[in-house]
Each structure stands twice: as C-alpha cells, then as structure tokens.
Amino acid sequence: MAAAITGILTPHMVPLDARGRIDEDELARLVDWLIGKGVHGLYPNGSTGEFLRFTVAERQRIVEITCQAAAGRVPVVAGAAEANVAETLAACAHCLECGARAVAIVSPFYYRLPAESVYAYFAAIARESPIDVTLYNIPMLASPIDVPTVARLAAEFPRIIGIKDSSGDVAHMIRLLAAVRAVRPDFSVLTGWEGALVPMILAGCDGGTHATSGIVPELTRAAFEAARSGDVARANLLQGRVTRFFDLLFGGAEFPEGFRVGATARGFRMGASRQPATAEQHAAREALRGRIAAALAAEGFPPAG
C-alpha cells in the first residue's frame, strides 16, 4: 500500500516566457527549489496553477515537467480536472504515466450541482481511474462536496484516498474528520486555506496544500511541523507570520495574481499572466512586488539563486 499523503504540498504557479508560453526551464528550477526548501509534495494544475488558462496539451506538459524535475523526491498530486468524466479519466491515465502519486479532481464547476450529482460524478471517476484520486473541495469556485458525500465516497471507493478542502471552515473540517475517519482511518485530509493551517492541523488534518508555500516554503513547513509536534505556542506564532504573507499574497491582487507577483519577488522569472490587465493593474502589481520583497527581507528570506 502506498504511503498516505501528508505534510505541505505546493500548488505552484507556472512561469511564462515573453510570448506567454510555458517557460519549461524555469518551471523545473522552481520545482527543484521548492523541494530543496523542504516542501513535502507538489500540486501542479491546481487553482493557483491556473489550470483553466492552459490547453489540455499544456496541462499534460506541466505534469510531465513537474514529475521529471521532482524525480521521485517528493510525491506529485497532479490536477486532472477536465469538463467531463471521459476527459478527466484520460488526464488520470496521463498523470499515472508521468509518475504522479495521485490526482486531484475538483468538483464539477460552472454548473452548480446538488450533492447526489457530485457523488455520481466522483463515483464514475473512481470506478475507472487507474490512479489514486483526491477530492478537491473549493466551494467558492465549484459545486461543494458536503460531509456526507465525502464519507460515502470514502466508504465505497478505496481508489479515493483523500481530500483537499479549501473552505477554510474549521467547524466543517472537524465534522469532516469525524465522519471520514469513522469509515476510512487512512483517508488523507488536507486543508487548502493557510489562514487556518495550524488550527486545522491541531484538529487532526494530515497537512495542507497552500499557495503561500510556493513563496515562503520555509515558513509553512515550520508551522506544520510545530503543530504536528504539539508545540502550540510556537505553531501559533508561526501561524501569524504565515497569515501575514497569505493576506498580502491573496488580498493584494485578484487571485491568483498575487502569488505570481510573490514568486517573482522570490527570484523567479514568472512572466505576465495570460489574463489581460490594465495599466493600473500592472502598476498596482509592481507596488505589491515591492511590499512582498520588503516582507521577505524582513523575515530573512533571500531571493532564489
């Protein structure tokens, strides 16, 4: 049996060159740097990775580069969400070929579906997927996956091995942990909201997938480890530092642009987003880069070499 997915996984962005194409060398450098800084895993083609702004072929290439650069040093949980079951299963097969540990599949988006339809969607995928599946609950952008549905899927489908929950709701997570652990003690529960990283770990989560870990991986890992070791006082201090960066990165520009600015401030050639921006927005992002650079310097985090 494969090891459970735990720790801090990074849903990293994709560097783009001057023509808006994937900068493959810089993506590989970013992956290598993140692993060197101690992240426990990688999460390509997530929301932070702007998966919807890339073609199917580009999403496949992103997974290939990430897995090649990771070279087995950490697990890769690759985003495999497509617009329907058949295309999602094709993405699952490709992720397996690349060497991913598992895939992450977001609940159906655009159409807001009831719980029974969400269950049916994931059940159809779980019956056919050649690779382990993690659910991805992000209710701000997709149909929510409620607690009874997660527990039902966990009980019925061994291929579904975990969930990333980005609700940020601690009470919801406590209910989720109680329900799913009753039927699947091995089920990985990861929080996707770094503003509540430490409370979620103390509540029993196995880790988190945090965009902020793509900018300050040293800090998110330290907060996770302090919480897991029971050093609550240190964990709470670290949570405050994580939250300050999260607020700057998430609140400083429309999601996920602040994280592109942050990775640039950390020393990577991220390029401009594929989402067009006005002159005012570009100016605001340049000002944000200065604030992020100052915050990094204050924390003693140097730019990547």
Q: What is the CATH number of the domain that holds 72?
A: 3.20.20.70
Residue 278, in any domain of the structure: no
Any idea what the Cα angle at residue 52 is, between residues 169 and 271, rounded to 5°?
Answer: 100
43 a catalytic residue:
no
Q: Active-site residue among 37, 43, 121, 164?
A: 164
Could you tell me which residues are beta bridge partners of residue 286? none
Helix (H, G, I), strand (E, B) or coil at 71: coil
Q: Which of 43, 119, 121, 136 is catalytic?
A: 136
As a whole number of Å, the CA-based R_g of the chain is 18
Could you give the C-alpha distances from 171 to 98, 141, 200, 251, in angstroms and in order? 37, 20, 10, 24
Do the Cβ atoms of 102 and 133 come closer than 8 Å? yes
In a domain, 264, yes or no: no
How many domains does the chain fold into? 1
Residues of the chain with pLDDT under 50: none
pLDDT tens for each residue of 179-235: 999 999 999 999 999 999 999 999 999 999 999 999 999 999 999 999 999 999 999
What single-letter amino acid sits at 294?
A
Question: Is 243 contained in some domain?
Answer: no
In a domain, 244, yes or no: no
Output the pTM of the full model.
Answer: 0.96
Position 3 scores a pLDDT of 82
Residue 93 lies in a domain: yes
Q: Tell me whether residue 200 is in a domain.
A: yes
Query: What's the domain range around 125?
Result: 7-231
pLDDT at position 178 is: 97
Residue 111 appears among annotated catalytic residues: no
**At 6, which amino acid appears?**
T
Long-range contacts of 50-57 (CB under 8 A, 24+ apart): 50/13, 50/14, 50/256, 50/273, 50/274, 51/79, 51/81, 53/273, 53/274, 53/275, 54/14, 54/22, 56/82, 56/87, 56/91
Residue 66 in any domain: the answer is yes
Is the residue at 246 inside a domain? Answer: no
Residues 63 and 100 sit within 8 Å (Cβ to Cβ)? yes
